[in-house]
Amino acid sequence: QKEVEQNSGPLSVPEGAIASLNCTYSDRGSQSFFWYRQYSGKSPELIMSIYSNGDKEDGRFTAQLNKASQYVSLLIRDSQPSDSATYLCAVNMGRSYNTDKLIFGTGTRLQVFP
Amino acid sequence: KAGVTQTPRYLIKTRGQQVTLSCSPISGHRSVSWYQQTPGQGLQFLFEYFSETQRNKGNFPGRFSGRQFSNSRSEMNVSTLELGDSALYLCASSQRLIGTGSTDTQYFGPGTRLTVL
C-alpha cells in the first residue's frame, strides 16, 4: 500500500463545474495535509493546508479532511481552463513533532475544457 | 520577500561523476527539504535539514547526501551518478521555529534539472 494515494486521472470537467480531487493516506498519526498545484515544467505551488477535521475554504477552493477515514479532498468550484494542472496531495509524515517529511501522492491531472 | 532559489537550474553530467546542487531558503526559514521528481516515481522525499542537522531521511542510497550551513542555505550531493538519477531536484523551505508558532508549510524553489548521460 502506498503511503499517499491519488487517482492519476485525467479528470475532465467543463468550465464552470466543480472538480473533486481525492486522496487517502496510510499513517494514522499524520497531522498536516497539503494540496499543491503543478503546471507542466514548473515547481509545485501551495494551494491549501489543512490540519483539523472538517472543511477549510479559500476562494474557489475547499479542502476537506476526515482523519478517521484517512481521507483528504479538494473541491474546486467554478473551474477555469487555467486550473488545468496536476494536483498533488501531500502529507507530513515527519518522524517526530515539528519536523518535515512531505510524502506526496502521484498527483491527479485535471483538465478543464471550455 | 524573495522565494526559494536553486542553482544551477540545469546541469548535464556523465555517469560516474558527482554533482552538487545548492538551495537558498526564503529569508527567515530554517527548515530545508529536498525532493526528487521523475515521471515514473513522482515526487519523492530525500531529506530534511534544520539548524545544520538532518532530521528526516527518505529511502535513497548513500550516494545522496546533503548538508545545511549556519545561514540555512543547503546543498545536496550525488556521487557516482547513474542514468536513473536524471530528474528534477526540488528544494523547499518552511518557517520552522523553536517552540510555539511553528508552521510546516513548505514553499518550493524552481528546481534543478539534472541530466545524466
Query: Vertex B115, ends B110 and B116: CA angle to 5°?
Result: 145
Predicted confidence at residue B62, as pLDDT, reads 96
Q: In this complex, is the C-beta atom of A94 within 8 Å of any C-beta atom belonging to chain B?
A: yes
Residue A100 has pLDDT above 90, yes or no: no
Lowest model confidence (mean pLDDT) among A91-95, A104-108, B112-116: A91-95
CA distance A53 to chain B (A): 18
Predicted confidence at residue A98, as pLDDT, reads 73
CB atoms within 10 A of CB B105: 16
Average pLDDT value for chain A: 93
Buried b (16+ CB within 10 A) or exposed e, B29-56: bbbbbbbbbeeeebbbbbbbbbeeeebb
Q: Give me A70's grid cell.
A: 484517512
Strand order, beta sheet including B5-7: B5-7, B19-24, B74-78, B64-68
> What is the arithmetic mean of pLDDT over A31-54?
93
Q: Give me B88's grid cell.
A: 528534477
> What is the arithmetic mean of pLDDT over A94-106?
84
B64-109 tens-digit pLDDT: 999 999 999 999 999 999 999 999 999 999 987 655 555 678 999 9
Rounded CA gap, B30 and B49, in Å? Answer: 8
Smallest Cβ–Cβ distance between A100 and the set B44, B48, B111 belongs to B48
Comparing alpha-carbon positions, the chain B residue that sits nearest to A3 is B44
Residue A34 has pLDDT above 80, yes or no: yes
Predicted confidence at residue A93, as pLDDT, reads 85
* Phi, psi torsion values for A83, nearest 5 degrees: -80, -10
Smallest Cβ–Cβ distance between B42 and the set A92, A101, A104 belongs to A104
Is there a contact between B55 and A92 if contact means CB atoms under 8 Å apart? no
For chain B, what's the residue count? 117
Between B104 and A92, the more confident residue is: A92
Rounded CA gap, B61 and B80, in Å? Answer: 11
B20-42 tens-digit pLDDT: 999 999 998 989 999 999 998 99
> What is the arithmetic mean of pLDDT over B46-52?
93
3-state class (DSSP) for residue B44: strand
Q: In this complex, is the C-beta atom of B42 within 8 Å of any C-beta atom belonging to chain A?
A: yes
Comparing alpha-carbon positions, the chain A residue that sits nearest to B96 is A98
Q: In this complex, is the C-beta atom of B29 within 8 Å of any C-beta atom belonging to chain A?
A: no
Predicted confidence at residue B69, as pLDDT, reads 97
Q: In this complex, is the C-beta atom of B34 within 8 Å of any C-beta atom belonging to chain A?
A: no
Cα–Cα distance list, A74 to A37, A42, A63, A101, A112 (Å):
11, 21, 5, 21, 15
Listed residue (B76, B87, B105, B94) closest to B28, CA to CA: B94
Query: Vertex A48, ends B90 and B52: CA angle to 5°?
Result: 40
Rounded CA gap, A90 and A48, in Å? Answer: 10
CA distance A5 to chain B (A): 12
Cα–Cα distance list, B58 to A4, A84, A102, B73, B109 (Å):
15, 30, 10, 20, 19
Predicted confidence at residue B102, as pLDDT, reads 58
Q: Which residues pair with A91 in a beta bridge?
A: A33, A103
Rounded CA gap, A90 and A72, in Å? Answer: 10
Predicted confidence at residue B98, as pLDDT, reads 58
Is there a contact between B42 and A105 if contact means CB atoms under 8 Å apart? yes
